[in-house]
């Protein structure tokens, strides 16, 4: 028996035209079903647990709409991105790609770095233009993620980072595979001096068998060396970014969280990104080679033996409630986690505050614990060492465990795109939702990527 629970628009995986889609429930799983008059029907599982899926809508905050937009009235979402007048949510993170060259050649690369039919390695004035787009269209505080390809292959990256800071971009994350910063501590020092706040650090597991599959070479020693170097240099936080692939590292998520806890306070978060099917991933996807957010949360609960429960994950309520989930924990001296977030708190009472708070959190993340836990607790004895020690520790030894379910041409839907807060900056002064920027048709034709970088 199947129950229809909503409608949306989606893309035909063959021709990339906008087509109508329904969301249905079957055996407690939520599916998106869509038909292209020319190319047929697709039915793809997007969620496990229908009641949970529906309940999450109550966590939807009033969006904080963009104050400036590059595109007017949209004719055909998602073919007129920019942002257009229809788009609901402002930018929390702007992704600026500074090269499509890379010192690795990963089979799972969504940026299709190296050998993908176009070459993108802009000069510094072109990059200044992309930062200017952020300054012109995004309100402060602005957070830029410098991405690629591999940004650290650029010797002028410190100069690029400093330029961004001088232009008024408050928070800079650098996306990296760790190869350069693991091998070249002097370069790392230059990045810190230039003002890098955070590394968005590719990390697939603690076992080289995983790296052989995801990156084509053993990398765990190098990853550890890079983390050690960042700790030595100081002043930069690390978020471990894990591409989760069923059959490769889905059964390692618990171990990755334990590794992250042992590496606090340098490591501040783990961000899981279930594989999405774009770029050069060679296999036509099925429901079995995807993992959705509830499945991931369940794995985390099982593999951490309940230290972090599925219920500790809440939507950030900034993007669409089915796009992400996040938890925050204090790391205790034995490296176990003490979670501070729980769904049991229920939907927020004042939903219009959340977008603001989440955005602030992006730019001031390091101070988040201080803000939320600071102040004396009047009910406590001043000499309560246990409590005071806990508060002191919470300010440095905390860990966010979060996930974002990127959409591909099979799973994507307007209901989520139009609320996206992670935007890629183009050369023609547009901001494109990250998932759409990377969407490709079944034959590899890109929706936006090549159009943007091959002119
Ligand atoms: S995704 Fe947003 S910006 Fe793009 S066309 Fe749709 S509403 Fe407009
Ligand atoms: S390190 Fe990143 S950019 Fe380079 S090939 Fe791998 S996934 Fe692509
Ligand atoms: S990047 Fe994709 S998954 Fe993330 S918020 Fe935007 S639409 Fe949602
Ligand atoms: Zn079609």
* Mutate-to-test residue for ligand 3 from 271, 321, 433, 439, highest number of ligand atoms within 8 A of CB: 433
Integer Cα distance of 159 and 175 in angstroms:
16
H/E stretch holding 190 = helix 185-194
Q: Which long-range contacts (CB under 8 A, 24 or more apart) does 114-121 make?
A: 114/149, 116/279, 116/280, 117/450, 118/450, 118/453, 118/454, 120/149, 120/453, 120/454, 121/149
Q: Is the CB of 190 under 6 A from ligand 3?
A: no
Which ligand is located closest to the Cα atom of residue 412? 3
pLDDT per position as a tens digit, 286-312 = 888 899 999 999 999 999 999 999 999
Integer Cα distance of 56 and 353 in angstroms:
17
**pLDDT, mean of residues 436-455:** 84
* Domains within the chain, CATH numbers bracketed: 93-371+379-404 (3.20.20.70)
**pLDDT, mean of residues 362-383:** 46
Q: Whole-prediction pTM value?
A: 0.92
Phi, psi dihedrals of residue 302, rounded to the nearest 5°: -65, -45
Q: Which long-range contacts (CB under 8 A, 24 or more apart) does 246-252 make?
A: 246/275, 246/288, 246/289, 246/290, 246/291, 247/289, 248/204, 248/210, 248/213, 248/214, 249/204, 249/205, 249/210, 249/214, 250/291, 250/296, 250/299, 251/299, 251/303, 252/205, 252/206, 252/207, 252/210, 252/303
pLDDT per position as a tens digit, 92-101 = 999 999 999 9
Residue 277: predicted pLDDT? 86
Rg (CA), the chain: 21
Give yes or no for residue 391 having a pLDDT over 90.
no
Counting residues of the chain whose pLDDT is more than 90, the rounded percentage is: 74
Q: Is the CB of 113 under 6 A from ligand 2?
A: yes
Smallest CA-to-CA distance from 97 within 408, 360, 434 is with: 434
Q: How confident is the model at residue 40 (pLDDT cuts 50, 70, 90)?
A: very high
Q: Is the CB of 98 under 6 A from ligand 2?
A: no
Q: How confident is the model at residue 126 (pLDDT cuts 50, 70, 90)?
A: very high
Helix axes 293-303, 253-262, angle to 10 degrees: 60
Ligand 2 atom at shortest distance from the alpha carbon of 243: 7
Q: How many C-beta atoms lie closer than 10 Å to residue 158's C-beta?
A: 19
Give yes or no for residue 283 having a pLDDT over 70.
no
């Amino acid at each position: 028996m199947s129950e229809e629970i909503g409608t949306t628009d989606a893309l035909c995986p063959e021709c990339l035209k906008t087509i109508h889609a329904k969301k249905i429930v079957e055996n407690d799983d939520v599916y998106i079903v869509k038909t292209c008059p020319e190319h047929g029907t697709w039915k793809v599982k997007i969620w496990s647990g229908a009641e949970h899926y529906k309940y999450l809508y109550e966590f939807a905050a009033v969006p904080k709409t963009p104050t400036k937009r590059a595109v007017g009235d949209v004719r055909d979402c998602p073919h007129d991105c920019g942002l257009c007048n229809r788009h609901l949510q402002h930018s929390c993170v702007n992704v600026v790609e500074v090269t499509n060259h890379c010192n690795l050649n990963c089979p799972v690369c969504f940026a299709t770095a190296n050998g993908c039919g176009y070459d993108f390695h802009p000069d510094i004035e072109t990059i200044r233009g992309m930062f200017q787009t952020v300054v012109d269209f995004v309100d402060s505080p602005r957070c830029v993620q410098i991405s690629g390809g591999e940004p650290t292959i650029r010797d002028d990256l410190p100069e690029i980072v400093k330029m961004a800071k001088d232009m008024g971009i408050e928070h800079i994350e650098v996306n990296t595979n760790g190869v350069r910063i693991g091998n070249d501590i002097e370069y790392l020092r230059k990045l810190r001096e230039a003002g890098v706040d955070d590394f968005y650090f590719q990390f697939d597991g603690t076992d080289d068998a995983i790296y052989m599959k995801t990156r084509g070479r053993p990398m765990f020693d190098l990853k550890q060396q890079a983390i050690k170097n960042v700790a030595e240099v100081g002043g930069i936080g690390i978020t471990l970014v894990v591409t989760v692939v069923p059959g490769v590292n889905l059964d390692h998520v618990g171990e990755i969280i334990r590794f992250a806890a042992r590496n606090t306070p340098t490591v501040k978060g783990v961000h899981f990104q279930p594989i999405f099917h774009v770029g050069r991933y060679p296999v036509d996807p099925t429901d079995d080679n995807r993992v959705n957010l509830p499945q991931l949360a369940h794995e985390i609960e099982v593999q951490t033996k309940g230290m972090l429960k599925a219920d500790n994950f809440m939507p950030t309520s900034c993007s669409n409630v089915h796009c992400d989930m996040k938890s925050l924990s204090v790391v205790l001296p034995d490296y176990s986690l003490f979670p501070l977030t729980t769904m049991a708190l229920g939907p927020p009472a004042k939903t219009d505050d959340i977008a603001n708070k989440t955005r602030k959190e992006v730019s001031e993340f390091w101070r988040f614990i201080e803000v939320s836990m600071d102040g004396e607790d009047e009910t406590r004895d001043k000499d309560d060492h246990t409590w005071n020690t806990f508060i002191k520790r919470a300010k440095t030894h905390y860990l966010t465990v979060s996930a974002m379910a990127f959409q591909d041409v099979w799973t994507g839907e307007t209901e989520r795109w139009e609320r996206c807060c992670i935007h890629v900056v183009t050369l023609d002064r547009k901001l494109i939702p990250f998932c759409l920027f990377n969407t490709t048709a079944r034959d590899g034709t890109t929706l936006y990527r090549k159009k943007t970088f091959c002119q």
